[in-house]
Chain A
C-alpha cells in the first residue's frame, strides 16, 4: 500500500521518464512564455497608464516585481528539492535544486539591478541598507554560496550545500514580511496580501501577464538546463539514444 502511495514520486523522479516528460513540455513552455511575454510587454509598455508621481519610471515594475517573485519562488523549489534529496537521496532532486539555484541567482540579481534603477529616480539613491533590500542581497549571497559549495565537486560539499539551502530558507519569510516588521523605504506588497490588490486594473493586467510570463520563463529555463544536464550525465545510456531516436 505504501509503495503504491508513493508510486507517483518514484515515477516523477525516474530520470528516463522525466527526460521524456521534458522533451514533451519544453516547446509548450517556451511557446506559452513568448505569448505571455509579448502580450505583457505590449500591454504594459504601450497601453498601461503612467503613474501620476513616478511617470514613466513605473514601467520598471513590469520587470522588477515578476523577477522578485520568481527569485523567491526558485528558492522554494530549491528548498523543497534539497529536503527531498536529504530524505530520499534522489539524484534528480539534487539536479533540480542546483539548477533552480542558478536561475534564482540570475533572477535575484535582476531584481536588485532593476530595483536599483527604479530607486535612483524615486528615492534619490541607487542603494540603501533598507531591510527589504538587505534581505534580498542576503538571498543573492546564499544562492552564490550554494552554487560555489556545490561546484566544489566533493560529495560532502554537495551535501553541505543542501543543508545550507535548508538553513537559508529562514530568509524567505523575512524578505516578504520585512516591509511590515521594520520601517522601510520600500513600499508594502501590492499583489500578495490578504486584502484586494492596491493597484488599478489597467496596471494590474499587464503585471499579471508579465508575472505568468516570468513563471513560464523560469520553468522553461529550468527544463532546458535539466535536459542538458541529463544529456551530459547519461550520454552512455541506451535509453537516452532510444528517446532521442538516434542509434548509439
Chain B
C-alpha cells in the first residue's frame, strides 16, 4: 500500500520539484537582498526563514494530498473495506517523504550561505524533521476536511496556519544541542504523540462521513 502511494506521488514529482525549487530560490536570494552592513544578522535569520518557507510549502501542499486521480482510488479503497487507518498513516508517511525529506536534505546549504555552524544545522534538521511530521499530520486532517471542496489557497492559509503557529513558535526556540532537551522540544514531542492517534482516529471518521456525503448528494 505504501509502495503504491509512493509510486503515485512519484508520478506527480513535478509538483514536489516545484516546492524544492521555490525553497532553494528563497534560501539563495534572501542573503543577496540584505545590505552588506546587515550581513552579520544572517546566522540569526537563517532559522526563522527556513521555518517560514517550510510552513508555506506545507500549506500549499494540502491540495496534493488527495488529488483528483486519488479520489477515485479512494472510493475503490472504501468499497473494498480496506483499513482507512492504514490509508491515513501511509498518506502521512509518503507525503513526508516527498515534501519534507528533500527540504531537510537541502539544509546543509545554510552553512556556506548563512554562515552558520554545523551544530546549528544538525539541530535545525532534527527539530524540523519532528515539526514536519506534525505539519503532515495537520495537512492530512485538513485535506480530508477539504476533500470535496475546490479550495483556493487563501482559505487553506487562513484555516491551516493557526494550527501551525504553536509548532513554529516552539521550533524556532530551539537553537543548539542544549535546547534539544528543553521544554520547547518536549512540547513538540508531546504534540506529535498526542496528535498522531487523534488524527488517525478522527481522520477516519471524517473520511467516511465525507465519502457518504458524496454518495448521498452526488457532489
Q: Which residues of A contact B (CB under 8 A)?
A: 86, 129, 134, 137-138, 141-142, 144-145, 148-149, 152, 154-157, 159-160, 163-164, 166-167, 174
Contacts and interface: CB of A to CB of B under 8 A. Distances in A.
Nearest to B202: A167
B66 interface: no
B39 interface: no
User: Most chain-B CB neighbours within 10 Å: which of A86, A154, A159, A160?
Assistant: A160
A102 to B, nearest CB: 16
Which has the most chain B C-beta neighbours within 10 Å: A134, A152, A155, A167? A167
A156 B169 contact: no
Main secondary structure of the interface of A (DSSP, over half): helix
B217 interface: yes
B141 A167 contact: yes
B155 interface: yes
Contacts of B155: 145, 148-149
Contact of B210 (A142, A152, A159): A159
B149 A129 contact: no
Contact of A155 (B158, B162, B165, B219): B219
Interface of B: 141, 145-149, 155, 158-159, 161-163, 165-166, 169, 202, 206, 209-210, 213-214, 217, 219
The 3 closest A-B pairs by CB, nearest first: A145-B159, A141-B162, A156-B148
20 contacts: A134-B165, A137-B165, A138-B165, A142-B159, A148-B158, A148-B159, A149-B159, A152-B149, A154-B148, A155-B213, A155-B217, A155-B219, A156-B149, A156-B214, A156-B217, A159-B210, A159-B213, A160-B147, A160-B206, A167-B202
Contact of A156 (B159, B163, B202, B210): B210
A160 B146 contact: yes
Nearest to A174: B166
Contacts of A154: 148-149, 219
A134 B146 contact: no
Nearest to A144: B158
Contacts of B169: 129, 134
Contacts of B213: 155-156, 159
B158 A156 contact: no
Given A148-B155, A156-B214, A164 B149 contact: no
A79 to B, nearest CB: 14
A20 to B, nearest CB: 31
A186 B219 CA distance: 47
A145 B210 CA distance: 19
Nearest to A178: B166
A163 B145 contact: yes
Nearest to A155: B217
A134 B148 CA distance: 31
A164 B141 CA distance: 9
Contact of A141 (B161, B206, B217): B161
Given A154-B149, A156-B149, A157-B149, A145 B158 contact: yes
Contacts of A159: 209-210, 213
A141 B158 contact: yes
A145 B206 CA distance: 18
